[in-house]
């Protein structure tokens, strides 16, 4: 039977390659950092979610090592059987305090957190209103629920209001948005969203994976940045980006929501608890966030320096203030060629194309870190310029 299936899959893979959409996985020869090695060659890393440079921070590594001795390697259990250590509860409490929420529940990943909440909170008589560019985990999580589904145009408040009106007869209405849209670096207009939610009696959920730790005065994310921390009902997030970059996710929300998730969320009930060393390292990451005003300022300055340098060099950037900075290309093949040329010049970035982003909107998503120096950023801009010249010499069209 598989003989025919193999032919079909091979044809599909060939079509992906021909369209310039095939994704390869480069291997790192070192720990995650702003400076890494790949293929035995030192390169500058400008594509990690390592916003605060904590993925290989000595204090996190030391905390994780100590946890191996004190708490062991793995839990070998789900939370409600024998998978809850006191440090799991400590981490949940620390996240609740940072985010100004009543309670927090850990999941194996934010994908699991988003995959578990909607079917628990919403039934057939309810409605979920989702931004069209929300993360895939939100889309998949919504599909698992029986709620009526409404979608509004990205950050379009008039369309959001229209969908809220369309959902007026639902028992519960939940607006869900990314806090930061990871392919664009755009921030959600949370104040306006909360205004509409209050007008139409809806709850608000924010996936703040690309913000917690470094956006906002204390690193509490986009609700803090937008001044609506007390108006957001649910925050989902990850430990796998700014907070050390390992694994694990969470839902922070009203106490009753978290309590119900502990009883019914399938990814929580049927998955092993987050590993002890990850928990310990994440707690130390929160300690560094509490001390991290200087790191957040450095990250902001790095993003501003890169934007200024690339704009001066004539590259097309999406506007914004986030350290995710997309460099846009009209052609998928050109974006891939640029990424390959940049790697040869010592800059590690990745081209994004369909289906991760819409067709015709290919990009190289540059991600700044507090671990980058000013010299690193200058070298990156210079490499983009050199790569563009190299591609032009090979008769690629530059736009």
Return the structure tokens found at 303. 């993003």
Cβ 277 vs Cβ 242: under 8 Å: no
The structure tokens listed for 378 are 């200058």
Query: Residue 254 CA to chain centroid, in angstroms?
Result: 23
Going from the C-alpha of 89 to that of each of 112, 273, 372, the distances in angstroms are 19, 11, 34
**Separation of first and last alpha carbons in the chain:** 47
Q: Which residue in the list 88, 135, 225, 241 is annotated as catalytic?
A: 241
Q: What is the dihedral of CA 302, 305, 308, 312, to 10 degrees?
A: -120
The yes-or-no answer on residue 369 being catalytic is no
DSSP class of 270: T
Instruction: Given the residues 109, 130, 182, 236, select the one marked as catalytic.
Output: 182
Q: Is 252 annotated as catalytic?
A: no
Q: Is 210 a catalytic residue?
A: yes
Angle at 263 between CA 279 and CA 242, to 5 degrees: 30
Q: How many whole angstroms separate alpha carbon 189 and alpha carbon 128?
A: 18
* DSSP result, 290-324: HTTHHHHHHHHHHHHHHHHHHHHTT--B---SSSE
Q: How far is CA 139 from CA 177, 178, 276, in A?
A: 11, 11, 30
Please say whether the dihedral angle defined by the alpha carbons of residues 155, 159, 165 and 167, taken in this order, is positive or negative.
negative
Report the catalytic residues.
Answer: 182, 210, 241
């Amino acid at each position: 039977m598989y003989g025919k299936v193999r032919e079909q899959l091979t044809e599909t893979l060939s079509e992906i390659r021909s369209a310039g959409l095939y994704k390869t996985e480069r291997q790192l020869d070192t720990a995650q950092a702003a400076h890494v090695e790949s293929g035995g060659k030192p390169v500058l890393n400008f594509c990690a979610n390592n916003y605060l440079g904590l993925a290989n921070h000595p204090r996190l590594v030391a905390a994780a090592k100590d946890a191996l001795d004190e708490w062991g390697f793995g839990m070998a259990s789900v939370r409600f059987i024998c998978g809850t250590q006191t440090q799991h509860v400590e981490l949940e409490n620390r996240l609740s305090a940072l985010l100004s929420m009543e309670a927090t529940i850990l999941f194996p990943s934010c994908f699991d957190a988003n995959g578990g909440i909607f079917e628990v909170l919403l039934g057939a008589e309810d409605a979920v209103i989702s931004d069209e560019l929300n993360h895939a985990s939100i889309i998949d999580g919504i599909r698992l629920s029986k709620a009526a589904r409404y979608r509004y145009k990205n950050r379009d408040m008039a369309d959001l209001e229209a969908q809220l009106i369309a959902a007026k007869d639902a028992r519960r209405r939940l607006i869900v948005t990314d806090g930061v849209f990871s392919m664009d670096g755009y921030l959600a207009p949370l104040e306006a969203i909360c205004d509409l939610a209050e007008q139409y009696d809806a709850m608000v959920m924010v996936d703040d994976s690309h913000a917690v730790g470094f956006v906002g005065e204390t690193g509490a994310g986009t609700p803090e940045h937008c001044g609506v921390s007390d108006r957001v009902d649910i925050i989902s997030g990850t430990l796998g980006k700014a907070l050390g970059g390992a694994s694990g996710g969470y839902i922070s929300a009203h106490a009753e929501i978290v309590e119900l998730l502990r009883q019914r969320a399938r990814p929580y009930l049927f998955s092993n608890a987050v590993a002890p060393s990850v928990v310990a390292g994440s707690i130390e990451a929160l300690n560094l966030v509490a001390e991290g005003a200087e790191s957040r300022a450095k990250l902001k300055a790095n993003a501003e320096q890169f934007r200024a340098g690339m704009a001066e060099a004539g590259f097309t950037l999406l506007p914004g203030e986030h350290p995710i900075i997309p460099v846009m290309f009209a052609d998928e093949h050109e974006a891939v060629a640029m990424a390959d040329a940049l790697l040869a010049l010592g800059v590690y970035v990745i081209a994004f194309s369909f289906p991760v982003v819409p067709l015709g909107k290919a990009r190289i998503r540059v991600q700044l870190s507090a671990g980058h120096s000013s010299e690193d950023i200058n070298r990156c801009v210079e490499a983009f310029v050199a790569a563009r010249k190299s591609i032009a010499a090979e008769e690629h069209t530059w736009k």
